Structure 1
Amino acid sequence: MAVLRIADYRLLWTALTINLLGDGATYTALAWITVERAGAGGLGVLGVCLTLPVIAGGAVIGPLLDRFSRRKLFIYDSVFRGVVVALIPLAAALDRLEMWQLYAVALIYGLLKIIPLAGTPAVIPELVPETELQAAFGLESTAMGAANIVGPAVGALLITLIGSSNVLLLDAATYLVFAYLISRISAPLDRPARVEDADGKRRSGWAPVFDMIVHDKFLLLLTLSFASFNIAVGALLVALPWLAKFEFDSGPGILGLLLAVLAGAELVGSLVSGALKTSEKQMIRIGQLQIITGGLLLLMVPRSLPVIVIALLLNGILSAPMTVLGGVVRMTRTPMQMRGRAMTLMRTTMAGALPLGAALAGILLSGSHYTELVVVMTILAATPGIFTLLIFRSIPFRLGVSADVDRRPAAVES
């Protein structure tokens, strides 16, 4: 793609891909250690530890992304978390590894995860022209998909070769590589220039961000609908290792296969969506995709491995474009000086829904209510798409028009 010819974006994309490779392997290792030691209930706790702290982290980190250098925040975060992750294999080497240590590392990981989660999309518009935004976000999703294909497979292989805890060394190393590549980006990645309102007040803090999102139909509906979808995703990420261990009575290879199929499908979907042109019917497309992908989860009810593989394949192919299209809308609608806080708030809300799904799955699967879990996942994933179609059937999306621009005429008329 032409966007990869931009050196700064290429460095960011490469850094993100390498870092996500380690994360994909780490999730497989953590999930397998947990399911062997603590069963389905432990998987639910692990899912909560990995995702719930994102909410707390977002409250603090969002303003930092608009107040301090994004480059420094990326580098400091990567080095620190690399050291924290490396503590697990160290404890294992000393024969002192316990479940609370895994949960503690997961908590720290989740607490700081919002820095790259919100920071990466926030800086993309600084590295590429507006006409390349959809391609850039498509490749960001492609990086996640490609890394998640190789990551779980590497994790499953290394579990059999060197043990689950040592897989975390891979992730620790990728954090350092990420920090180095970010340091090579020539763009300043500094805090955005402060902008004052007409009355001379600076747009700082959370109040203007909340006000913008609540009063903008695009941003509000995307945030709420993706949060609902992510509850289903959180439940799915607990259901897959449960199926591999207790339903298919197999080893980590099956779990790696299921995760790789889902990630590979997302990769295909991201590549396709990144190549498409942005449309006025962007929100309509998102609603349609959400309804279809949610409905596909029902294919998992029979507990048949081939059918579940097909369900994950179709779900991944169609859900990835939904994410890419939504990313373009969020970046376009958000003014530059508020992107750090806005992306933190939106992604914190969306990512914060994952532990709800993980906890829900842990409770239902502990009681062997698998079918009921799949039905709930389907409802949560598909229903918001219906509201999106109804609300935006006559409201077009336009590139270059942010939420504050849309609100100016109303302010003048009043």
Structure 2
Amino acid sequence: MKAYVAVLRIADYRLLWTGLVINLLGDGATFTALAWITVERAGAGGLGVLGVCLTLPVIAGGAVIGPLLDRFSRRKLLIYDSVFRGLVVALIPLVSALGWLQMWQLYAVALLYGLLKIIPLAGTPAVIPELVPEGELQAAFGLEATAMGAANVAGPAIGALLITLIGSENVLLLDAVTYLAFAFLISRISAPLNRPPRVENSGSKRAAGWQPVFDMIVHDKFLLLLTLSFASFNISVGALLVALPWLAKFEFASGPGVLGLLLAVFAAAELVGSLVAGAWKTSERQMLRIGQLQIISGGLLLLLVAKNLPVILLGLLLTGILSAPMTVMGGVVRMTRTPIEMRGRAMTLMRSTMAGMLPVGAAIAGILLSGNHYTELVVVMTVLAAAPGFFTLLTFRNLPFRLGVSADADRRPATVEP
């Protein structure tokens, strides 16, 4: 815990992390409130439309917003986004109080939320290296992952409780306040968080747009393998999120209570794994550790073959605990390898690519489960989750990770002292 105490003593990081926790908890509560309003007014079909509105625009938003994170002040972007989305969310309780609420308004709010979500999703990790020393990056990213894990567990639960106490529309009003709180806390950070400096390389300019970012990721073994291996792992996670409701409904003949238990165990396990990983020291064997964890955590998905609730819960627990550190350690590698003037676009591209694999996994699961091929699905999930770990071990067995060495610095010709 000393590592966490040390990083939380940094006032700027403490402001960022506190705002992130408040904002993420509000997001979880808002999702529950929007879903409840939708199911009451439009049924299951409306829920499907809401889900598309919340998730699909994240990918489209990344294509537009990623470059903005490297062209404008990140402080201003985070503040303006938070204030704007807070006002948009507050419109729902307002029009509801006036008796004007219609489903298209809910969908429009969800679309705007999904479109702009990439700003904090990519912007927050992009500014962390400006707030903490290199030696404390792992603890900082561990706390960021912990905030996300806690929000996944507690946010929807808080939302459900508040719905019974104050009503769905008022939950959205509270979430609007969390957006404004986040904006206020970001405004109190003393670090400038300005537009990243333009860097001129000999003979070539650091061009705007996606091409230089794409070239950097493709030609850097660290960034390319992290992106592809995590994307493959996320296909399994997407399939898992479809397999768990299927198990609860058709294998265990249970209601939402068992599904909630399965999801809560997995989310809580990820939270524990993030906390543990953040306390570890960054090592030259960082990539080897990631590869080992991916092999073991992916392999543990085979426990889901047994259609037995305690065994499946054990598999989810172990997979969550061992897979979460991959995200924490990978965040340190990505921020170190990416030059500061490209971090916004790079994080947007990498996170959009990885998140974009979740629907692919869901589609695979839907096809296999429709034919009652559950065992085959578990095997596919296991292979996709674990196999990239072997490539990571082979690629980095003699290639250490070093703090402070970016992709550009690695490719720069070594100078010979006279």
What TM-score do the two structures reach when normalised by structure 1?
0.87
Superposition map of 1:58-207 within 5 A: 58-87=62-91, 94=99, 96=101, 98=103, 103-158=107-162, 167-199=171-203, 201-207=205-211
| Residues 1:91 and 1:303: Cα distance change in structure 2 (over 3 Å) | farther
Partners of 1:26 and 1:255 in 2: CA distance: 20
CA contact (8 A) 1:22 1:174 kept: yes
Q: Please point out which of 279, 282, 289 is paired with 2:286.
A: 282
- Larger RCO of the pair (alpha carbons < 8 Å, separation 6+): 1
Per-residue deviation at 1:379?
A: 2.6
| Residues 1:363 and 1:103: Cα distance change in structure 2 (over 3 Å) | farther
| Residues 1:313 and 1:87: Cα distance change in structure 2 (over 3 Å) | farther
| Residues 1:309 and 1:87: Cα distance change in structure 2 (over 3 Å) | farther
Superposition map of 1:220-239 within 5 A: 220-239=224-243
CA contact (8 A) 1:85 1:105 kept: yes
Q: Please point out which of 337, 340, 348 is paired with 2:341.
A: 337
| Residues 1:300 and 1:177: Cα distance change in structure 2 (over 3 Å) | farther
Per-residue deviation at 1:253?
A: 4.7
In the other structure, the counterpart of 2:19 is 15
Shifted more, 236-245 versus 54-63: the winner is 236-245
Q: One-letter code of the match for 1:212?
A: M
CA contact (8 A) 1:156 1:252 kept: no
Residue-pair matches, total: 410
In the other structure, the counterpart of 1:215 is 219
CA contact (8 A) 2:28 2:152 kept: yes
Partners of 2:181 and 2:254 in 1: CA distance: 34
Per-residue deviation at 1:198?
A: 1.2
| Residues 1:235 and 1:32: Cα distance change in structure 2 (over 3 Å) | farther
Per-residue deviation at 1:180?
A: 1.6
Q: One-letter code of the match for 2:212?
A: P
- Per-residue deviation, residues 55-92 of structure 1 (Å, max 9, x unmatched): 21111111111111111111121122233344555676
Partners of 2:415 and 2:49 in 1: CA distance: 48
Shifted more, 394-403 versus 236-245: the winner is 236-245
Per-residue deviation at 1:142?
A: 1.4
Determine helix, strand or coil for the equivalent of 1:64: helix
In the other structure, the counterpart of 1:375 is 379
Per-residue deviation at 1:364?
A: 4.9
Confirm or deny that 1:390 pairs with 2:394: yes
Per-residue deviation at 1:410?
A: 7.7
Confirm or deny that 1:24 pairs with 2:37: no
Per-residue deviation at 1:233?
A: 2.1
Q: One-letter code of the match for 1:155?
A: G
- Per-residue deviation, residues 300-349 of structure 1 (Å, max 9, x unmatched): 34444433332222122111100011001101111111111111111121
Per-residue deviation at 1:380?
A: 2.2
Percent identical residues: 83
Shifted more, 27-36 versus 43-52: the winner is 27-36
Partners of 2:58 and 2:293 in 1: CA distance: 26
CA contact (8 A) 2:26 2:175 kept: yes
Shifted more, 389-398 versus 250-259: the winner is 250-259
Partners of 1:85 and 1:368 in 2: CA distance: 41
Confirm or deny that 1:319 pairs with 2:331: no
Determine helix, strand or coil for the equivalent of 2:413: helix
Determine helix, strand or coil for the equivalent of 2:320: helix
Determine helix, strand or coil for the equivalent of 1:409: coil
Per-residue deviation at 1:279?
A: 1.2
Per-residue deviation at 1:211?
A: 1.3
Partners of 1:239 and 1:47 in 2: CA distance: 17
Per-residue deviation at 1:283?
A: 0.9
| Residues 1:393 and 1:129: Cα distance change in structure 2 (over 3 Å) | same
Partners of 1:237 and 1:81 in 2: CA distance: 28
In the other structure, the counterpart of 2:354 is 350
CA contact (8 A) 1:218 1:329 kept: yes
Confirm or deny that 1:269 pairs with 2:273: yes
Partners of 1:91 and 1:305 in 2: CA distance: 44
Confirm or deny that 1:259 pairs with 2:263: yes
Unaligned runs of 5+ in 2: none
Superposition map of 1:271-310 within 5 A: 271-310=275-314
| Residues 1:101 and 1:234: Cα distance change in structure 2 (over 3 Å) | farther
CA contact (8 A) 2:70 2:342 kept: yes
- Per-residue deviation, residues 135-179 of structure 1 (Å, max 9, x unmatched): 111111111122222213223434555666664444333222211
CA contact (8 A) 2:33 2:168 kept: yes
| Residues 1:25 and 1:249: Cα distance change in structure 2 (over 3 Å) | farther
Supply the RMSD in Å over aligned alpha carbons. 3.0
| Residues 1:35 and 1:271: Cα distance change in structure 2 (over 3 Å) | same
Determine helix, strand or coil for the equivalent of 2:398: coil
Unaligned runs of 5+ in 1: none
- Per-residue deviation, residues 13-68 of structure 1 (Å, max 9, x unmatched): 011111111223344555677789665x8777655443332221111111111111
